[in-house]
Amino acid sequence: MATSVFSKISSFLKTESSFDALRNILIILIPSLFVFYLFDGHVAIAFAVGVLLACLTDLPGTKKDKWTSFAYCIPVFAITSISISLALANHSPIIVLLLGIFGFVYTFIALLGFRINFIGNLGLIVASFTIGLRPEDPLIFSLSVTAGAICFYILSLLQVYLFPYRSLRFAVQSGITSLSQLIRLKIDCYNEEIPLPKTYKQLSALQIKVSDQLEAVRSLLLRNKNLHSEKDLRTKIWLAKLYKLIDLYELLMAVDQDYERIRELLKSGNTLSLIRRALAILSKETAELNYLKKSKSSNLKRKKEFEKIMVQLEVDQFIADFHRKELIISIAKQLGQIANILHDIKEEVLDADHSWVESKNFKDFVAPDSDFKTLVNNFNFKSPIFSYAVRMSILLMLGGVIGYALPEYRYASWILLTIILVARPSFTTTQKRNYQRIVGSLIGIAISLLILLIINDFTILMGIAIFCLYLFLLFNKPNYLVCVIFITITILIGQHTFEGTIQDILGSRFAFTLMGSIFAVLGCLAIPINHYRSIEQQTNRLLDHFRNFFQKIKESYEVQELSYYDLRLVRKFTQSALALSYDSLEQFAKDPIQGRLHKKEIEHFQTLAYRINALLVGLSINRTKLGFVLHPELMNERTAYIDTLIAEAETLSKKLHKNKERPNIKKDLSILNSNNKR
């Protein structure tokens, strides 16, 4: 048990975000101390705020990505800090209007991509921090915040030029870890004692996670200009690894039959047990790809055990009937292919096979950037992000009005900050963030009070605040509740040290946080997101990609020369559509009324989508990887079954989005109550 916990902690501390947390705390502290000694405390605090908030906008990416973040972040921080601080200095009610404008614009630009979304969100936090700090000199404050952001990005850009493959290496490691988990979860599919609906749900969620991680690897690598150079050996190694990981993912997702059918065919004998043992070995082998030092003796032992299992599967083939034999051969070949891919990744085999895509076509496999047309097309209430942007604008203006009416406007920053961090498009996600923020704030306040009652030494208090700031950066992505605890301690110790009046600070922190949480919930109820439109768009898109993928597969069985480019591209588009559809359905499922009404349909569609995708990938790799040419009768049987599943999914999709007009809340509540009474 202790070894397992230590292993998890060690793995967590080796992630990119953990190394970034250490880097960021050093970038915050060291330059800020120089600024403090060169100027004064107010300038140093503003500078540190600029560095802190800028580091939260820094996401993994290429050199071009970092420059894009820099180009957006600096103007957003500069404009926000100077405009808000000028309005504060002049005690102008225009600050309420500014909050509304920033709330809408910085939320709406999320359509330009997740990187810009982060910057917009941090731009709103700059506004909140500016109100909380209430600077005496707007120009000096704005220049200090902007200088802090520039300082951070100079060092971030320097890092990406010195270590260009850093983000790619961590992305590959994350993908390998998830692939190992996926193999381990696949073991349950061959265990008759474990219900398949539960396993399908877990597989669907993990499949989307792995797909997103491999998409991140693909995006980081295929946009690298060095790929087109034959001299860059290191990039070629990364490319070969990407191909192997994608092929491994395909093999893991592929099935020849539904797992119900597989269990039925193989229930007699020891075949299912042998497959489970083989998958357990392959899961361990996959996990070990991330470790530089591997035990040769344990690897050799696992290799011999795997070979023994493969021989036993071969024996099972000879004593099986036709259908059972065909299935065992297919599964055994897939297991062998997985083992070969793992070997090639370990040995960094660079040999390109005939299924690789020409470098001139790499751009087709990278998602295109959003542009101004995307914003124009979504400038209406049919767009969920537009509705969300309007909601954020109104909530921030409401928080600004209340703050403007208070004698100490700075404490209104807690209201605004809570709205920015808690208010999310879906009601359930907002409620979850509310719980985490309130509980985290209470725990942080209690710990802060205990620290401040026991410790009076300035140096020790600053040391605790700095350590808690590091822990905030460390847990910022993995666990929101934990990071709230540590940032609360950091802020309260800092405010007490420089402002005193601990009772007022603690009281305002909790009271205004609670008020912001209430506003966030009311905003969800007043301006709900209509998920039906998103569901209709994403499920229809997914079904279109299923049909297209299916058609390409059938064509591949009819020709001698395969177009691997076409098959890879259509499979990639199908995976992307599956991920977007799954995300939309998950958001819909979290709706407190609509989601509960359609819970069974949502889960059924997700299971169907997983099964269809797995069967399509199975047919595809039979042709492209395993070299199977199915007997016409068997091919007709499988295509007819997939057609039936797609037709069932189409019917279910229409049922899900038939109420695409704005939902009738009273009607939905009455239906929900009647269902509960049953």
Residue 435 pLDDT more than 60? yes
pLDDT range class, residue 627, cuts 50, 70, 90 = low
pLDDT range class, residue 675, cuts 50, 70, 90 = very low
Averaged pLDDT for residues 598-621: 87
pLDDT, position 672 = 35
d(CA 463, CA 452): 13
Residue 257 pLDDT more than 80? no
| pLDDT digits 0-9 by tens, 531-557 | 677 788 889 999 999 999 999 888 887
Cα Rg, the chain, nearest whole Å: 28
d(CA 47, CA 148): 5
More confident site: 422 or 404 = 422
Type of residue found at 439? V
pLDDT, position 673 = 42
pLDDT, position 434 = 84
pLDDT, position 130 = 93
d(CA 560, CA 384): 46
Averaged pLDDT for residues 571-592: 84
More confident site: 86 or 228 = 86
Give every CB contact of residue 619 below 8 A, 6+ residues apart in sequence. 553, 638, 642
DSSP codes, 353-365: -TTPPPGGGGGGG
Residue 386: both structure tokens together? 């537009």
Question: Which residue is associated with the tokens 């069985």?
Answer: 557
Averaged pLDDT for residues 413-437: 84
Residue 468 pLDDT more than 90? yes
How many angstroms separate the Cα of 85 from the Cα of each of 35, 132, 142, 410, 555? 21, 10, 8, 11, 64
Query: Among residues 242, 314, 331, 344, which one has the least CA distance to residue 626?
Result: 331
Question: Which residue is associated with the tokens 């920033």?
Answer: 102
CATH number of 531-673: 1.20.120
d(CA 188, CA 583): 24
Q: b/e map of 93-114 (b: 16 or more CB within 10 Å)?
A: eebbebbbebbbbbbbbbbbbe
Residue 232: both structure tokens together? 């860059």
pLDDT range class, residue 621, cuts 50, 70, 90 = confident
pLDDT, position 107 = 95
Q: How far apart are the first and last CA of the chain?
A: 45
What stretches of 57-165 show up as alpha helix (H) in DSSP? 63-89, 94-108, 114-133, 138-162
pLDDT, position 12 = 66
Q: Boundaries of CATH 1.20.58.220 in the chain? A: 166-365
Averaged pLDDT for residues 316-340: 86
Most confident of 4-8, 41-45, 496-500, 619-623: 41-45
Fold exhibited by the domain 166-365: Methane Monooxygenase Hydroxylase; Chain G, domain 1 (1.20.58)
Residue 665 pLDDT more than 70? no
Averaged pLDDT for residues 42-53: 93
CB 365 within 8 A of CB 357: yes
Residue 669 pLDDT more than 60? no
DSSP codes, 552-593: HHHHHTT-SS--HHHHHHHHHHHHHHHHHHHHHHHHHHTSTT
Of the listed ranges 12-16, 54-58, 226-230, 443-447, the least confidently predicted one is: 226-230
pLDDT range class, residue 667, cuts 50, 70, 90 = very low
pLDDT, position 277 = 94
Q: Boundaries of CATH 1.20.120 in the chain? A: 531-673
| pLDDT digits 0-9 by tens, 506-525 | 666 677 888 888 888 888 88
| pLDDT digits 0-9 by tens, 370-397 | 778 888 888 988 888 999 999 999 999 9
What stretches of 134-268 show up as alpha helix (H) in DSSP? 138-162, 166-189, 196-222, 233-253, 259-266
| pLDDT digits 0-9 by tens, 276-310 | 999 999 999 998 888 755 555 567 888 889 999 99
pLDDT, position 6 = 63
Report percent pLDDT > 70 for the chain.
87
pLDDT, position 2 = 55
φ and ψ at 355, to 5 degrees? -90, -5
Number of continuous H segments (helices) and E segments (strands) in the chain: 27, 0
pLDDT, position 327 = 84
Chain centroid to CA 635:
37
pLDDT, position 677 = 39
Averaged pLDDT for residues 213-234: 76
Residue 662 pLDDT more than 60? no
d(CA 452, CA 473): 22
